[in-house]
Amino acid sequence: MKNLTITAPKGFLAAGLHCGIKASGKPDLALLYCPNGAAAAAVFTTNKIVSAAVTVCREHARSGRTFAAVINSGNANACTGQKGIADAQKMCQTSAELLGIRPEQVLIASTGIIGHPLPIQTVCEGLRKAAARLGEGAAAGLNFAKAILTTDTKVKNAVRTVKLNGKTVTLAGTVKGAGMIGPNMATTLCILTTDAAIRKPLLQKALRTAVDQSLNRLTVDGHQSTNDTAMILASGLAGNRMIQKQDGAYHRFETALTELCLDLARQMALDAEGATRMFTVVIEGAASAAEARQAARAVANYDLVKCAVHGADPNWGRIICAVGSSGVRLNPEKLTCKIGQITVFRNGQPARFDPKKVSRIIAQKEHTITVYLGAGIHSDFCMGCDLSREYITINADYHT
């Protein structure tokens, strides 16, 4: 079996198990170990309130060398005060002791309910088991992927390879998505591995670019959480010449990383809370790059558009309404909208089209909505998903 998990790149061991945070008995603790050490990079939520895990991870991501990452699900360890910070530190410290490394060489992330203290004893006991179960194969990677999930219905893994100086470099990643996914942030939790040899500052740059072009262009409900973290560990074992500057090898690596993250983002959209399908909004003819992005996001976030997509309803009026209220410049006489390849609104006037045909396009797993603003030359995109009754069910009763 081909390994399509985060243990695919050379130099990584993983484990995932149920330690006891989740009452459901589902996996809730994940450990990644890179025995030879890795260059690491991370990006975080821009929410002003961040979890203890984010506070600690930001600090640890500055280390020159990273050997491990520990992730728990079922509890966000956010809004938990000083105890929260101590608990996050304890998670890193325990992992470090078990692996014979220093606490600051461990990255950390948490996801789950906000405001509840972490059962830290339970977590530390779980870590002991996880360290004992660390494995190299696909099964270990899959256990890791399962243990970071919350309301996700599926594990989300992706792998890419790229040739650098004749050597095959592998990149892999896993995400947890579902809800609280806004495009103005790192993302939900995303753990990436690669065996590329690359300097830490360039790895950070590549991660930022890749996330910006993928996870930052996905919106489920426009929300960013207190815990969003994307991290990458690069073991350097692929044998490629160390990437030291923004040369051709760097750009091929960055492109592969972006494609990997786009793949993960699409999996997140399709597995968003209650989602049955996804769509990509493409804005063309915007007066500025920022306005293109703003308009794309506004349409993808618009509840009424999301409901129409859920009903496979060619209600283009809501798309036009969303664009009009997004605050961007547009020319009403030139405004044009396509669903798939079918023009539904042309130069400010309704176009003739077969509603059944358009409905069938929307009913697919994925479709594209294109809006031409007629105000300039800039374009951008944003991915979104439909809004269903299931989203409400999931989110109305999550806490109690």
Q: Which of 359, 360, 366, 379 lies at the binding interface for its own copies (CB under 8 A)?
A: 359
The span of 27-35, 57-65, 222-230, 285-293 binding its own copies (CB under 8 A) equals 222-230
Cβ proximity of 68 and 99 under 8 Å: yes
Exactly one of 187, 193, 194, 336 is catalytic; name it: 187
The span of 25-33, 57-65, 141-149, 217-225 binding its own copies (CB under 8 A) equals 217-225
| Listed residue (154, 63, 46, 145) closest to 104, CA to CA | 63
Q: Is 80 among the residues that bind its own copies (CB under 8 A)?
A: yes
Reduced to 3 states (helix: H, G, I; strand: E, B; else coil), residue 338 is strand
Q: Is 343 among the residues that bind its own copies (CB under 8 A)?
A: no
Q: How far is the CB of 136 from its own copies (least distance, A)?
A: 37
| Listed residue (188, 189, 208) closest to 200, CA to CA | 208
Number of residues located near its own copies, criterion CB under 8 A: 69
Q: Is 397 among the residues that bind its own copies (CB under 8 A)?
A: yes
| Listed residue (310, 307, 312, 280) closest to 296, CA to CA | 280
Q: Which two tokens stand for residue 155?
A: 């594990």
Q: Which of 2, 245, 352, 389 lies at the binding interface for its own copies (CB under 8 A)?
A: 389
Q: What's 49's DSSP letter?
A: S
The 152-191 site mask, x for binding its own copies (CB under 8 A), equals ---------------------------xx-x-xx------
Active-site residue, 187 included: yes
Burial class (CB in 10 A: 0-12, 13-18, 19+), 82: exposed
Nearer to its own copies, 173 or 183 (CB): 183
The 225-244 site mask, x for binding its own copies (CB under 8 A), equals xx------------------
Q: Is 387 among the residues that bind its own copies (CB under 8 A)?
A: yes
Q: In the chain, what is the greatest distance between 2 CA atoms, to the nearest angstrom?
A: 69
| Listed residue (226, 15, 20) closest to 119, CA to CA | 20
Q: Is 303 among the residues that bind its own copies (CB under 8 A)?
A: yes
One-letter identity of residue 215 = L
Tell me the C-alpha distance between 159 and 166, whole Å. Answer: 19
Question: Strand 278-286 to strand 366-372: parallel, antiparallel, or no bridges (unpaired)?
Answer: parallel
Q: Which two tokens stand for residue 53?
A: 């895990």
Q: Which two tokens stand for residue 322?
A: 């969303």
Q: Is 1 among the residues that bind its own copies (CB under 8 A)?
A: no
The span of 97-105, 126-134, 221-229, 256-264 binding its own copies (CB under 8 A) equals 221-229
Q: How far is the CB of 138 from its own copies (least distance, A)?
A: 34
Q: Is 121 among the residues that bind its own copies (CB under 8 A)?
A: no
Burial class (CB in 10 A: 0-12, 13-18, 19+), 61: buried
Tell me the C-alpha distance between 220 and 182, whole Å. Answer: 6
Q: Which of 76, 124, 140, 371 lies at the binding interface for its own copies (CB under 8 A)?
A: 76
Catalytic positions, please? 187
List interacting residues with its own copies (CB under 8 A): 45-50, 76, 78-81, 113-117, 179-180, 182, 184-185, 221-226, 302-304, 307-308, 310-311, 313-318, 320-325, 328-330, 332, 335, 345, 348-350, 355, 359, 387-389, 391-393, 395-400
